[in-house]
Amino acid sequence: MITIKDVAKLAGVSASTVSRAISGNIPVEKETRDKVMQAVEELHYEPNALAKGLKEGKTNTIGLIIPNIGNHLFPPLVKGVEETARKSGYTVILCNTENNLEIEKTYLEKMQKRLVDGFIIATAREKSTHILDMEAEGVPVVLLIRHLGNAVDAVILDNYKGAYEAVSYLLARGRKKIAIINGEQELSLYRERFNGYQEALKKAGETVVPQLVLDDAFGEENGYAVMVGLLRSGQMPDAVFATTDLRAIGAIRAIKDFGYRVPEDIAVIGFDDFEFTKLLSPRLTTVSQPLYDMGKLAVEKLITIMDNKNKVTPIIDVMEPTLVLRDST
Amino acid sequence: MITIKDVAKLAGVSASTVSRAISGNIPVEKETRDKVMQAVEELHYEPNALAKGLKEGKTNTIGLIIPNIGNHLFPPLVKGVEETARKSGYTVILCNTENNLEIEKTYLEKMQKRLVDGFIIATAREKSTHILDMEAEGVPVVLLIRHLGNAVDAVILDNYKGAYEAVSYLLARGRKKIAIINGEQELSLYRERFNGYQEALKKAGETVVPQLVLDDAFGEENGYAVMVGLLRSGQMPDAVFATTDLRAIGAIRAIKDFGYRVPEDIAVIGFDDFEFTKLLSPRLTTVSQPLYDMGKLAVEKLITIMDNKNKVTPIIDVMEPTLVLRDST
DNA sequence: ATTGTTTATGAAAACGATTGCACAAAGCAT
DNA sequence: ATGCTTTGTGCAATCGTTTTCATAAACAAT
């Protein structure tokens, strides 16, 4: 491996001078600088990132913690993070936790001690004392797609608004009996989506009918199962608001299996706007999250935090969803 | 930050002893070890990864270079890599190159100097002297989904076989006029898929009719465009072999737009088995790549290479595709 | 000519870990 | 009891940087 000393020797100067010539922070005579640069070229010298990091107490690396890269939500998010980080001179270490708290903790602990300058965490747990601890210790952290009250900086979506607009749209188109297929109530994002649903109905003078509120576990399969249950029950809705595209797709499959048409008999709206959602037939109307931009913003916030030594109070940035109209409504 | 010296002081021993007690490689008296461990606990000491890496010349980190995490091919691959690496005590740094050679080179250069112990590269360029250079310099590298002749270790798919089996299946079901929607001929994987197509036809006594060979740029849009062109030309195929699921989906859209039925009038087979492919209607018959396993194998190979100081000749591992039968044939 | 500044450079001390070497204490054989 | 090995520990060097401090040279001001 070629070190700074090799360069120094070839250029006929000391290691310190090489360091100064390269960094440019401290003035070096033009002539010596040229000699150094030439030696650098000649030897293809690249400074050892480890030594540099050790000395400077900084690695220009950030850790990105996500539950599952296989979930279609995350690739755009990761892309936004990665791209923005790269453009600012940061490298990102991707950590996939499999939604396993132990793995998450291990990752955080392992990297905290100077492999990484800060974290972006996108694992959607509600209570996370270990993250609060990190924040308290002064480790730079930004949450993504989740928040821990106002205790930690975060970039989240206005879930309430997304749901409110989706349901309002259905109501405006004359739909009355609107079912909701929702997710785990422990997650605030699903509670908020439910609130949006509820408020939109209330505003229109409708009431929430309990039989049309379907709580679901996860994914396409369950969307299907739950929708089948509803159709069997005799309660025939004229629209479905699914809090996830996957649930919407499952619901559509069930509706078709029962011989009904989408959107003529039952309109369906999803949530997330997974990329492939526009390849389906009917193309899915859905609430779109600006995932790429959210990833981008999270990095920008994190960099600000890392640069600012003196801690300021956390800010929660709330991004706006967009209702994307397609053929399922 | 808590260092080994803090632990040493608290335990009343020297830093060296702490190091030895922790690593366990060198015997330490039971009693002192206990004292050390207790101090470690008490202070929540975690060794500084940078200092350790600098001293040992090893970081237990691998770099994973991919063109675009947004492409559905990559999440399963990344997952396979990440999970296997983690289980072996490695951390992975994800690098998204946007298919941009400059970004790729920058990443490789930047990380080569000891931030990373080895690389897995999944960017599908044919000529890559920079990678050959790395290999020559002794940097551990494994290629994934691509290969550079026999010069560099690689994990690839038997593209020929996948295509051969897909087309043979269509032929066995009585289809005769089989079109192929293919990708850039500069990429060997598409050349191989074409060869498989060609051979299957030949074996069945059919010949390749040039009008049915469609070369395409990329994605769903182009699959659609190219298929429209074919249907307009009056050449009516009874089956389509698309070398990518996205192309297949585009083709199906075109076929439907022309009022034909899939699979009754025209059967369609894709390639890749993107996860959402089974959510479409009709559910797509396709050639599945064992992406997760390929990522896994790549890591295993890389670790072997990194452990083995003495270089052995590169091995190209060829994985088997599987034909997944669904409703589009 | 003398002193005081400025400027460019090198030597050396960090950063936090590991490890070869030296040495003391303990164990064993004679 | 003496010498020889074994065992456990500390000291100091090392990894490749950056940066403080000191010094020498160049220059300006008296």
Do A103 and A190 lie in one domain? The reply is no
Amino acid at A153: D
Q: Report CA A61 to chain centroid distance, whole Å.
A: 18
Do A135 and A77 lie in one domain? The reply is yes
- Is B111 part of any domain? yes
Confidence band, pLDDT 50/70/90 cuts, at residue A127: confident
Q: How long is the CA B97 to C1' C1 vector, in angstroms?
A: 66
Q: How much of chain B, in percent, has pLDDT values that exceed 90?
A: 75
CATH number, residue A72: 3.40.50.2300
Asked if the C-beta of A52 comes within 8 angstroms of chain B's C-beta atoms, the answer is no
Who among B53, B95, B279 is closest to A220 (CB)? Answer: B279
Min CA distance, B206 vs chain A (Å)?
33
- Is A53 part of any domain? no
pLDDT in tens, B146-205: 999 899 999 999 999 999 999 999 999 999 999 999 998 888 999 999 999 999 999 999
Average per-residue pLDDT for chain B: 92
Task: Please report the pLDDT score of residue B114 as a whole number.
Answer: 66
Confirm if A51 and B54 have CB atoms less than 8 A apart: yes
Do A176 and A268 lie in one domain? The reply is yes
Q: How much of chain A, in percent, has pLDDT values that exceed 90?
A: 75
Q: What is the mean pLDDT of residues A95-113?
A: 86
Confirm if B187 and B126 have CB atoms less than 8 A apart: yes
Task: Please report the pLDDT score of residue B128 as a whole number.
Answer: 87
Q: What is the mean pLDDT of residues A61-68?
A: 93
> Between residues 217 and 236 of chain A, which touch chain B (CB distance below 8 Å)?
220
Who among B46, B96, B280 is closest to A113 (CB)? Answer: B46
User: Which nucleotide is closest, CA of A11 to its C1'?
Assistant: C9
Q: How much of chain B, in percent, has pLDDT values that exceed 70?
A: 98
CATH number, residue B9: 1.10.260.40
Which residues are A125's β-sheet partners? none
List, in order, residues 6 or more apart from B119 with CB less than 8 Å away. B62, B63, B64, B65, B108, B111, B134, B139, B140, B141, B142, B302
Task: Please report the pLDDT score of residue B70 as a whole number.
Answer: 85
pLDDT in tens, B285-320: 999 999 999 999 999 999 999 988 667 899 999 999
- Is A326 part of any domain? no
Do A169 and A198 lie in one domain? The reply is yes
Domain count, chain B: 3
Q: What is the mean pLDDT of residues A229-240?
A: 94
Counted across chains A and B, CB pairs separated by less than 8 A come out at: 126
Which residues are A271's β-sheet partners? A287
Which range marks the domain in which residue A147 is found? 59-157+291-321
Q: Which of A22-26, A212-216, B101-105, B254-258 ranks highest by mean pLDDT?
A: B254-258
Q: Which residue has the higher pLDDT, A310 or B79?
A: B79
| A252-256 CB contacts, 8 Å cutoff, 24+ apart | A252/A280, A252/A282, A252/A284, A252/A328, A253/A220, A253/A223, A253/A224, A254/A223, A254/A224, A254/A225, A254/A227, A254/A228, A255/A227, A255/A231, A256/B281
Task: Please report the pLDDT score of residue B47 as a whole number.
Answer: 92
Distance of alpha carbon A61 from alpha carbon B161, whole angstroms: 42
Do B296 and B273 lie in one domain? The reply is no
Do B153 and B164 lie in one domain? The reply is no
Do B231 and B216 lie in one domain? The reply is yes
Do A66 and A107 lie in one domain? The reply is yes
Nearest 5°: CA angle at B79, between B130 and B297?
65
Pairing of strands B285-288, B141-144: unpaired
Name which of A276, A284, A327 to mutate to probe chain B: the one with the most chain B Cβ atoms within 10 A of its Cβ: A276
Task: Please report the pLDDT score of residue B243 as a whole number.
Answer: 96
- Is A329 part of any domain? no
pLDDT in tens, A165-183: 999 999 999 999 999 999 9
Confidence band, pLDDT 50/70/90 cuts, at residue A81: very high
Which residues are A213's β-sheet partners? A180
Task: Please report the pLDDT score of residue B125 as a whole number.
Answer: 78
Does the CB of B86 fall within 7 Å of any strand C atom? no
Do B96 and B201 lie in one domain? The reply is no
Does the CB of B35 fall within 7 Å of any strand D atom? no
- Is B328 part of any domain? no
Distances (CA, A) of A60 to A86, A105, A152, A159, B50: 10, 22, 21, 33, 12
Taking phi over 0 as left and psi of -120 to 50 as alpha, with beta for the rest, A145 belongs to left
| Rounded CA Rg of chain B | 26
B217 pLDDT more than 80: no
| Rounded CA Rg of chain A | 26
- Is B203 part of any domain? yes
Do B114 and B232 lie in one domain? The reply is no
Task: Please report the pLDDT score of residue A197 as a whole number.
Answer: 98
A264 pLDDT more than 70: yes
Task: Please report the pLDDT score of residue A24 as a whole number.
Answer: 85
Task: Please report the pLDDT score of residue A200 as a whole number.
Answer: 98
> Between residues 138 and 197 of chain A, which touch chain B (CB distance below 8 Å)?
none
Min CA distance, B318 vs chain A (Å)?
24
Task: Identify the helix (H) or strand (E) that includes residue B66.
Answer: strand B61-66
pLDDT in tens, B47-77: 999 999 999 999 999 999 999 988 989 999 9
A262 pLDDT more than 90: yes
Find where tokens 């039952």 sit.
A266
- Is A232 part of any domain? yes
The Cβ of residue A173 has, within 10 Å, a number of other Cβ atoms equal to: 12
Query: And the tokens for A94?
Result: 């991707």
Taking contacts as CB-CB distances below 8 angstroms, the residues of chain A near B96 are 78-79, 82-83, 86
Average per-residue pLDDT for chain A: 92
Min CA distance, B127 vs chain A (Å)?
22
Do B111 and B199 lie in one domain? The reply is no
Distance of alpha carbon A19 from alpha carbon A48, whole angstroms: 12
Do A65 and A104 lie in one domain? The reply is yes
A83 pLDDT more than 90: yes
- Is B53 part of any domain? no
